[in-house]
Amino acid sequence: MSSARKLTIVGGAALFSVIALGLYVFVWLAYNPETIKAAPQVNSSGQVTTNLELATVGAIDFGTHPSWVAYLVRHDGKWVSSTVWQVPAHSVVHVTLLEYDTQTGLRNPFMGMVRGTVGGVEYVNGQAVRFMNPNLPAHTFSIPELGLSVPLQGISQSTYPGSIANPHNTHVTITFSFHTGGPQTVHWQCFVPCAAGYLFGQGGPMQTVGYMDGYLKIVAAK
Amino acid sequence: MSTKRHLIIPGIISAILAVIGDFLVVLVLHLPPGNATTAAIDDTFTGQVFAIISWSVGAAVVTFAVYFIVLSARATEAPAPNPGYLRSHLGLQTAWIGSSVVLVMFAAGLGVVALEGQTSPNLVVPAKALAAGAARDPLIIQVIGQQWQFTYRYPQYGGFETSQLRLPTGRLIQFDVTSLDVSHSFSAYQLAVKIDAISGINNVGYVYVLKPTAIDVRCGELCGLWHGYMTDVGAQAGQALTPSQFSSWLSYAESTYGPGESSLPKFALTYFPTPLTY
Amino acid sequence: MSQTAIASGRAPVRFSARRLFLSQNLLTACLVGIVAGVIAYWVGAQLVTTDNGDAGVLLGYIVGAAGFLITMGFANDLILRLRGRPSASIVKTAEGKGWTEYLGVSLDHKVVGIQFAVGVTFMFLLAGFQAMMIRTDLLFPNGGPWPAGQYTTLVGLHGLMMMFVATLILIGAFGNYFVPLMIGAKRMAFPRLESFAFWLVPLGALILYSTIFAGFGGGFNTGWYLYAPLSVEARLGMDGAIVGFAFIGIAASIAAINLLTTIFVMRAPGMTWSRMPIFAWSMIAVEFLSALAPPVLACALIMVGMDRAVQSSFFEASAGGTTFLYEEMFWFFGHPEVYIFIIPAFGIALEILPVFARKPLFGYRLAVAGMMGVAMMSWFVWNHHIFTSGIAPGLRPFFMTATELISIPTGVVFLSLLGTLWKAQLRFKLPLLFVLALFFNFLIGGLTGVFLSDVPLDTTLHDGFFVVGHFHYTIVGAEIFALYAASYYWFPKFTGKMLNERIGKLHFWTAFIFFNSTFLPMFAVGYLGMLRRSPVYASNLHGLNVWISVNAFLFGLSNLIWVVNIIYSWAFQKERAPVNPWESRSLEWQLATPIPADNFERIPTIVSGPYDYGNPNARPVAEWPEPNSFPSPVPAT
């Protein structure tokens, strides 16, 4: 075999490797849902605030795992499947969450306590709650790095859990606020074992960013 | 040069390197994890001893090897038929094995001695917690690992649960560590404590804190997606407080977390929460 | 050489589709494997509907692999015998089939050795790329470019793939190729088993990599330990990791049985135990571990698979099982596993050392006893991996002492090093340089192991980067450097070309310097509290991590230099190597290059040991009966 031919084979193999590794890195390794940015506003007393509209559904109904529970965020008037959100630093985030999923209950009833919010309360259909009965939550919204944990009361078991594609009117509206503190990237997660079919209810969607887990990027204002 | 000189010269060089290195280890290298607890002091001391032994042995082996290599490289005459080769030397082999046994048994002995003084058959980490004169009546803190946060229960104060670790100095602390799901590990760096949290098992460890310190808690056993984020550090870090500070924290905690106690399960050493979904 | 093989009277028998009803074409085997796998997946999904598809996936992998192996021809002999026909002769083909032989089942241990060498080295480079990706993420203390889920899978893939590589690279490539030659045998005891062990390897690797596809749940999040119950909880990707790991364990076990039998039964006349090369002794020592430990792993993995697929509760405490059992079973395998890595490395190092020192190996018998001692004692130390897990307190002093005691037989190897260097006439060729670097690295690796064996100190260091530094020093610093040394030493016998010396020196210095500059700071970082498998760490460790990452990239580059050297020297260098360039007395160097299919036309009679360098009155190693020609002169000194 001539040198030129050998060189072509080696070169071809090297090119193939580079392309294959590049695909591996950029298609799989680096994949993250797109970051949804919540726009900062300044209220009358100069405090920076922002609004985050979220929803949780019993089945996302599209994508690679249509039967998985998921969080959704409202962006530009539409519900978007992304769990990577950006909020301003040193601000107060007002969260409105529509809970479309049924009650599952907590593994650790301690997570029924509202922690880290403004005033130490959340509002469930308008009622202030500090300690939720551990059988009621469908999910929680928790950011351990900020000491935040909010149990999210689910709709009753007899009602079929809705999805955004297939909503029905039954949902629970939950609102709360929290301070973001200085710039950092933190993770958030759910503490209810809501992953049906997985051991402890903690597998699958409970361990996948884009469903029941995500990042909160707290970014300094420019 | 005679065989003896070729052995003495690297021997002397090794000894000098060993002494210099050992001084550096003891005086300059402030080995972690520090001196906040009796266990940490023990770890630091053991680390220094091992560093001294390792450096001395390593320096000696490398010195002899390099010396022999240089000797060979510098040989300028053509290699004569070599009558001096050795296949084995009983005295040397015995001395080598004998000295390794002595060193190893010393190291092992040091470790076994440090393991003395345990009080409970469930002891996971020795922690050399029983400082002289310390009261034997420990403050019990149950550490519950779950995906992905540690929570802490204080059974002697009503069994309230909190996500903040607070403990007093000057008192024996007993950690009862368990898990609600997969295996985690309660790792508190400044306390020199690492106790695995395994479901269905209560792992016990003791610590005696000597001075107030922040406590960085991290999970030490891969437990899923947010294993690396399962930490209490920075603003959420645990704290070792003076006894009076701890008392005021207790009052705060009982008023804040107390109302939630009624929804918690009765205090037990292990928990099998439902649902256990398959 | 090939003509004489025919002339020796045995008709060459080819395994061909005409003679047997199952073709052995690689492409056909892949197709059959995939089709069988898909069908089995469907069947499994119908049989078990209460899980997440694990039963289907597991069945699909196993049946697919079986379909592949059967189509490759491994069941041919069994089927022939069942039909009452005589089994096919195992005589190797007289005519080489060229490079296509390397893509099939070969009964020539030399071909299988090269298959292992190329295949496992490719896996090494792939897993090494993943290490570069890990270090990229660790450039950033608060989470890097890869999200947490992918980072966890990345760490698991790197670890598991490297475990595959480390288990098989020295035994599979150099053990299979050179042990029959060194002991004067014409073939291995079980040539078909040897090839079977090889083909399990690409299967295992492919199955492992298939886990990253989103349909399988995007990877596995348990690291390479696969600890239950996290592995029971994990997504579909875990099934690939379980099956892949089990296949590699089986391959290691089979290769072990083959090598042990070959050495015990097929030594040339006159090859007494005290005349056997120390590399062959290291193969004996390691094979006791490799034959007996992986089955324990396979059991543990089967139990995890059953917990996942059919909801048994081996490892679920609330349903009557024991979580902790997995850790015990895994480490009962896991500790002998790491000695499977290091014992062949010692064998290679001590084999190469006398050739370049031109004097006998010092303390040959003691070194053998040391390796045997290490192998035996490695069964008694496994709890040192789980000191913090809650083992019974009475076990801790025992395992701590046993772990510290195991450093005594290990230290004996260093006595052989120093004794052989004493008054040596060193030839500073690349194999020797890598062997010296190996001993330096293992010194650091071994001494840091003593830190970890102390229970109180382990409380601070367990599951941190101190452990990572320790095992990279022993596995990469010793075993991979043994791989480098062996590649430079035996390349002329594999290929008839020398590896280029200048590129080789560049490879050596970059590898040695950047390996040490990468992994030495890990001890500091680990002592300062940085734990494993976490994409985030304390910000005061940022500087050290950046240093480690940059040096890791450079160490990765040095591996590319090695690969470039291999490709360049093999394909583009025109000069052929002398038959015995290192003037070694070992039997494989007395043969022509390329070594004939049957190795020896007539088995020689061994008359002296192989390490009699520097002795002008040394007897030759062997007496060669006619019609063997004796191509290379006996080296005088």
Quickly state the pLDDT bin for B262 (edges 50, 70, 90).
confident
pLDDT value at position C1? 35
Q: What are phi and psi of B87, to 5 degrees?
A: -95, -35
**Percent of chain C scored above 90 by pLDDT?**
71
User: Residue range A81-96: average pLDDT?
Assistant: 93
Nearest-Cα distance to chain B for A62, in Å, is: 23
Longest dimension (CA), chain C: 76
Residue A131: DSSP 8-state: B
C555 occurs within a structural domain:
yes
Name beta bridge partners: B206: B174
Contact yes or no for B225 and A115 at CB 8 A: no
Among chain A, residues having any CB pair with chain C shorter than 8 Å are 3, 6-7, 10, 21, 24-25, 28-32, 64, 184-185, 187, 197-200, 202-204, 207-209, 215
| Stretch 560-589 of chain C: residues touching chain A, C-beta under 8 Å | 567, 571-572
Over 70: is that where the pLDDT of C15 sits? Answer: no
By DSSP bridging, strand B172-179 and strand B203-208 are antiparallel
Rounded average pLDDT over C347-358: 95
Residues A28, C212: C-beta atoms closer than 8 Å: yes
pLDDT at position A159: 65
Interface of C with B in 615-634 (CB under 8 A): 615-616
Contact C147 A209 (CB under 8 A): yes
pLDDT for position C127 = 96
pLDDT-derived band at B80, boundaries 50, 70, 90: low
Same domain, A69 and A144: yes
- Residue A41 confidence (pLDDT) above 70: yes
With a pLDDT cut of 90, the percent of chain B lying above it is 53
A215 to A210, A212, B223, C141: CA distances (angstroms): 9, 11, 18, 15
C122: closest chain A residue by CA: A17
pLDDT of residue B116: 64
Q: How far does chain C reach from its first CA to its final CA, in angstroms?
A: 30
Range of the domain at A130: 34-219
- Nearest CB partner across the interface for B273, out of A107, A197, A208: A107
Q: Which pLDDT band holds residue A58 (cuts at 50, 70, 90)? A: confident
Mean pLDDT of the region A210-219 = 93
Residue of A nearest to B164 (CA): A147
Question: CB–CB of B277 and A198 under 8 A?
Answer: yes
Q: Do A78 and A121 have their domain in common?
A: yes
What band does B122 get if pLDDT is binned at 50, 70 and 90?
very low
In a shared domain, residues A21 and A48: no
Establish if C56 belongs to a structural domain. no
| Whether B101 contacts chain C with CB within 8 A | yes
Strand pairing class (A172-179; A92-99): antiparallel
Chain C residues closer than 8 Å to B122 by CB: 390, 393
Cα C251 to the chain's mean position, in Å? 10
Statement to judge: residues A38 and A26 lie in one domain: no
Between C235 and C251, the more confident residue is C251
How large is the average pLDDT for residues C360-372? 94
- Residue A34 confidence (pLDDT): 87
A105 and A22 co-located in one domain: no
The rounded distance, in Å, linking the Cα atoms of C59 and C45 is 9
In a domain, C209, yes or no: yes
> Does residue B32 carry a pLDDT above 50?
yes
Mean pLDDT of C217-243: 90
Cβ contact B234–A145 (<8 Å): yes
| Structure tokens, A50 | 């922002």
Containing domain of residue C318, as a range? Answer: 106-572
Same domain, A99 and A1: no
- For residue C200, is pLDDT > 70? yes
- How many other CB atoms sit within 10 Å of the CB of residue C190? 19
Same domain, residue pair A22 and A47: no
Q: Is the pLDDT of residue C191 over 80?
A: yes
Question: Is A147 found in the same domain as A90?
Answer: yes
Q: C473 or A76, which is more confident?
A: C473
Give the pLDDT mean for C435-453.
95
Q: How far apart are alpha carbons C431 and C438 in whole angstroms?
A: 10
Other C-beta atoms closer than 10 Å to the C-beta of A7 total 12
Q: Is C317 an 8 Å CB contact of chain A?
A: no
How high is the pLDDT of residue A164? 65
| Nearest CB partner across the interface for C408, out of B47, B100, B192 | B100
A99 forms beta bridges with A56, A172
> What pLDDT, on the 0 to 100 scale, is given for residue B82?
53
pLDDT per residue as tens digits for the range A136-145: 999 999 999 9
- pLDDT of residue B13 exceeding 50, the answer is yes
Whichever domain contains C175, its CATH number is 1.20.210.10
Instruction: Give the total number of structural domains in chain C.
Output: 1
Name residue A115's amino acid: R
Of C319, C357, C360, Cβ closest to residue B87: C360
Residue C386 pLDDT class (50, 70, 90 cuts): very high
How close, in Å, is residue B248 to chain C by CA atoms? 30
Confidence of residue B33 (pLDDT cuts 50, 70, 90): confident
Q: Is the pLDDT of residue C313 over 50?
A: yes
User: Please, which pLDDT band fits residue B90 given cuts at 50, 70 and 90?
Assistant: confident
Q: Are residues A159 and A95 in the same domain?
A: yes
Interface of C with B in 357-396 (CB under 8 A): 357-366, 386, 388-390, 392-393, 396
* Maximum CA extent, chain A: 82
Distances (CA, A) of A149 to A99, A141, C261: 16, 6, 63
The strand order across the sheet containing B149-154 reads B123-125, B203-208, B172-179, B139-146, B149-154, B160-162
pLDDT in tens, C562-575: 999 999 999 888 89
Instruction: List A residues 114-173 in contact with B (Cβ-Cβ < 8 A).
Output: 115, 130-131, 133-134, 142, 144-145, 147, 149
In the stretch 214-253 of chain B, residues with CB closer than 8 A to chain C read 216, 218-229, 231, 233
Contacts of B185 in chain C (CB under 8 A): 388, 462-463
pLDDT reported for residue C600: 87
Q: What is the ipTM of this complex?
A: 0.91
pLDDT band at residue A67 under the 50/70/90 scheme: confident
CA-to-CA distance for C597 and B191, rounded, in angstroms?
A: 64
In whole angstroms, what is the distance from residue C246 CA to residue C264 CA? 27
Residue A118: give its domain's CATH number. 2.60.40
Verify whether the Cβ–Cβ distance C572 to A3 is below 8 Å: yes
Contact B260 A110 (CB under 8 A): yes
- Average confidence (pLDDT) over C538-544: 94
Q: Is the pLDDT of residue C97 over 50?
A: yes
pLDDT at C110 over 50: yes
Q: What is the mean pLDDT of residues B240-246?
A: 95
Compute the C-alpha angle A172/A177/A181, nearest 5°.
Answer: 145
Claim to verify: residue A9 and residue A85 sit in the same structural domain? no
Claim to verify: residue A17 and residue A40 sit in the same structural domain? no
Chain B: nearest CA to A203, how far in angstroms? 9
CB within 8 Å: B277 and A144? no
**Rounded mean pLDDT, C191-209:** 94
Give this prediction's pTM: 0.93
Q: What is the pLDDT of residues C426-441, one digit of tens each?
A: 999 999 999 999 999 9
* Nearest-angstrom CA–CA distance, A173 and A171: 6
What's the structural domain count of chain A? 2
Q: Does B42 touch chain C (CB under 8 A)?
A: yes
Six-digit token string for C203: 């299967």
Across B13-21, average pLDDT: 94
Q: In the predicted model, what is the mean pLDDT of residues B34-42?
A: 83
Cβ atoms < 10 Å from Cβ of A53: 16
In chain B, which residues have their Cβ closer than 8 Å to the Cβ of A200? Answer: 147, 180-182, 276-277
Cα–Cα distance measured from residue A210 to residue A63, given in angstroms and rounded to the nearest whole number: 11
pLDDT at C403: 95
Q: Give the tokens for residue B121.
A: 């058959």
Same domain, A23 and A69: no
Residues in B touching A133 (Cβ below 8 Å): 263
For chain A, the distance separating the N- and C-terminal CA atoms, rounded to the nearest angstrom, is: 62
Average pLDDT, chain C: 89
Determine the pLDDT at residue A197. 80
Q: Which residues contact B2 (CB under 8 A, 6 or more apart)?
A: none
Q: Which residue in A has a C-alpha nearest to residue B264's C-alpha?
A: A109
- The average pLDDT across C22-45 equals 87
- Chain B, window 144-173: residues with a beta carbon less than 8 angstroms from a chain C beta carbon: none
Chains that touch A (3 or more CB pairs under 8 A): B, C
Q: Do B226 and A195 touch (CB under 8 A)?
A: no
Chain B residue with Cα closest to A197: B278
* Best residue of A207, A215, A219 to probe chain C, by most C CBs closer than 10 Å: A207
Of B230, B235, B260, the CB nearest to A112: B260
